[in-house]
């Protein structure tokens, strides 16, 4: 027989095999009446009918066999695992009569719109109000002759003498003023020009009037505090040479401070984009509350803590808020629009997401997945998964959810006729 004849026979045999397979797959399990169309069969149903049966243990699902038998661990009969092509992803319902509901203590609540004002607890710290800082400079070069303050933290009064400086340029400017005053008298053009020069060097009108009355220059010129506050920086000592660029001192007005609150970015988003208020307490002083309104959100995230800094100006007239002190902050946003909400205890949170047990009526309960939002005042917002007026279980919901999951597992293993323990 030639090679071409062998190839023809092989092709004919393959065609017969394919035809037989198609006839077997298209033949339904039940006889079709004459003249009736064969029922349609999906690919999933076809695969379920023609797959190899597997058997598993109801108590130990890791035991899988291709034939009936017993479990080597517990000795139970293996159950055939069936594929239900029409199975739904919905969790099985749990049916309870009135006596069972009373024994379990089942209580329900209605899903309804509520105003959930976002609240948050966060750590806080008292810091200086940088708008109330004053730097002390001299406008001429000279030497510190008399230092009146000696340590950081000292309180100073407005107008108090901080130090006295000897500066040759200040002495020369005083002499020019006295010469102009003697030559042209008070109010003359030369006298006014000399007075302007003294003011430009940092001397006030009280010093100039005293100079005119005294008639002689003063070697040590006082440097006074521009405002009351606390000394936060001291960079000079007695006898030091200073220049106009030298920051001799820094004074902070602590009658108002900033309280910096640290929150995570997702917490800030939950508080909303409107006004934000803070109730602040010092540890150990629970009966005193300071209140502030947010005035600035820092644009950068802290590289170490990965938090966002919020700034709240707070009055501190009593001085009880000391710089660097830690506080407890309770943040509250503006009242938002009403949202659909349920009691927080009704929400079951798992690694796979959130769900609630829905009361369908007539003693039927079914777990349904939901997308929960923020919580406030004992209620949790439901973004997706529920409708207004539906009843959810708020007591014994974990038992009902577990029972539904158990029934779903038994159904996957072998249906309701499988072993139950």
Q: Distance between CA atoms of 272 and 270, rounded to whole angstroms?
A: 5
Query: Residue 39: pLDDT above 50?
Result: no
pLDDT of residue 328: 95
H-type alpha helices, 255-361? 265-271
The CA radius of gyration of the chain, in Å to the nearest whole number, is 43
Instruction: Tell me the pLDDT tens digit for each residue of 354-380.
Output: 999 999 988 899 999 999 888 888 899
State pLDDT tens for residues 316-327: 988 899 999 999
Instruction: State how far the Cα of 369 lies from the Cα of 348, in Å rounded to an integer.
Output: 9
* CA–CA separation, 249 and 226 (whole Å): 12
- 259-313 pLDDT, tens digit per residue, is 999 999 988 877 877 789 999 999 988 889 999 999 999 999 999 999 999 999 9
User: What gap in Å lies between CA 296 and CA 309, rounded to an integer?
Assistant: 9
Distances 262 to 120, 127, 326 between C-alpha atoms, Å: 11, 13, 11
Enter the pTM of the model: 0.60
Per-residue pLDDT, 18 = 36
Q: Which residue has the higher pLDDT, 215 or 82?
A: 215
Pairing of strands 249-252, 133-136: antiparallel
- Would you call 174 exposed, middle or buried from its count of C-beta atoms within 10 A (0-12, 13-18, 19+)? buried
Mean pLDDT computed over 390-407 = 88
Mean pLDDT of all residues belonging to the chain: 83
pLDDT of residue 28: 42
H-state helical runs in 227-372: 265-271
Domains by residue range for the chain, with CATH: 3-45 (no CATH), 94-116+338-414 (2.40.420.20), 119-129+254-333 (2.40.30.170), 138-246 (2.40.50.100)
Q: What angle do CA 267, 331, 110 make, to 5 degrees?
A: 75
Judge whether 281 and 328 are in contact, CB under 8 Å: yes
Sequence-ordered alpha helix ranges (H) in 95-254:
98-104, 168-184, 189-200, 205-214
Looking at residue 77, its pLDDT comes to: 87
Q: From 211, 254, 210, 230, select the one nearest 160 (Cα to Cα).
A: 230
176, 194 Cβ separation under 8 angstroms = yes
Residue 21 has pLDDT above 80, yes or no: no
Q: Is the pLDDT of residue 145 over 60?
A: yes
Inter-residue contact 143 to 248 (CB < 8 Å): no
Can you give the pLDDT at residue 186? 85
Measured CA distances, 267 to 87, 308, 331 (Å): 40, 10, 10
pLDDT in tens, 41-60: 544 455 445 555 678 887 77
Confidence (pLDDT) at 408: 78
pLDDT in tens, 179-222: 999 988 888 999 999 999 999 999 999 999 999 999 999 999 99
Which position has the token pair 């394919």? 18
- Rounded Cα–Cα distance for residues 106 and 399 (Å): 10
Element (H, E) at 258: strand 256-263
């Amino acid at each position: 027989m030639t090679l071409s004849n062998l190839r023809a026979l092989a092709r004919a045999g393959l065609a017969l095999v394919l035809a037989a397979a198609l006839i077997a797959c298209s033949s339904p399990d039940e006889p079709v009446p004459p003249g009736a169309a064969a029922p349609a069969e999906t690919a999933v149903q076809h695969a379920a009918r023609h797959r190899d049966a597997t058997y598993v243990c109801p108590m130990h699902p890791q035991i899988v066999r291709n034939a009936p038998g017993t479990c080597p661990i517990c000795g139970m009969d293996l159950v055939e695992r069936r594929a239900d092509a029409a199975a739904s992803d919905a969790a099985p319902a749990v049916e309870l009569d009135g006596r069972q509901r009373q024994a379990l203590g089942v209580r329900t609540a209605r899903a309804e719109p509520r105003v959930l004002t976002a609240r948050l607890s966060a750590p806080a710290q008292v810091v200086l109000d940088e708008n109330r800082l004053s730097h002390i400079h001299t406008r001429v070069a000279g030497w510190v002759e008399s230092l009146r303050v000696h340590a950081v933290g000292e309180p100073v009064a407005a107008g108090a003498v901080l130090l006295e400086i000897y500066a040759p340029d200040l002495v020369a400017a005083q002499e020019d003023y006295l010469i102009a005053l003697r030559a042209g008298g008070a109010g003359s053009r030369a006298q006014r020009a000399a007075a302007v020069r003294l003011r430009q060097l940092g001397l006030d009108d009280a010093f100039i009037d005293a100079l005119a009355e005294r008639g002689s220059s003063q070697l040590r010129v006082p440097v006074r505090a521009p405002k009351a506050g606390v000394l936060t920086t001291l960079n000079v000592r007695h006898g030091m040479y200073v220049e106009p660029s030298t920051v001799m001192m820094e004074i902070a007005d602590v009658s108002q401070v900033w309280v910096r609150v640290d929150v995570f970015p997702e917490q800030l988003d939950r508080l909303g984009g409107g006004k934000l208020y803070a109730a602040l307490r010092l540890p150990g002083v629970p009966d005193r509350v300071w209140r502030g309104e947010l005035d600035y959100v820092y644009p950068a995230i802290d590289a170490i803590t990965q938090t966002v800094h919020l700034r709240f100006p707070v009055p501190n007239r009593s001085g009880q808020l000391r710089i660097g002190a830690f506080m407890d902050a309770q943040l509250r946003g503006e009242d938002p629009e009403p949202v659909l909400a349920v009691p927080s205890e009704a929400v079951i949170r798992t690694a796979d997401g959130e769900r609630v047990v829905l009361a369908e009526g007539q003693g039927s309960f079914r777990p349904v997945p939901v997308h929960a939002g923020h919580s406030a005042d004992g209620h949790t917002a439901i973004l997706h998964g529920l409708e207004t007026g539906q009843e959810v279980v708020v007591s014994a919901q974990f038992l009902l959810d577990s029972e539904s999951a158990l029934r779903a597992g038994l159904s996957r293993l072998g249906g309701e006729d499988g072993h139950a323990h």
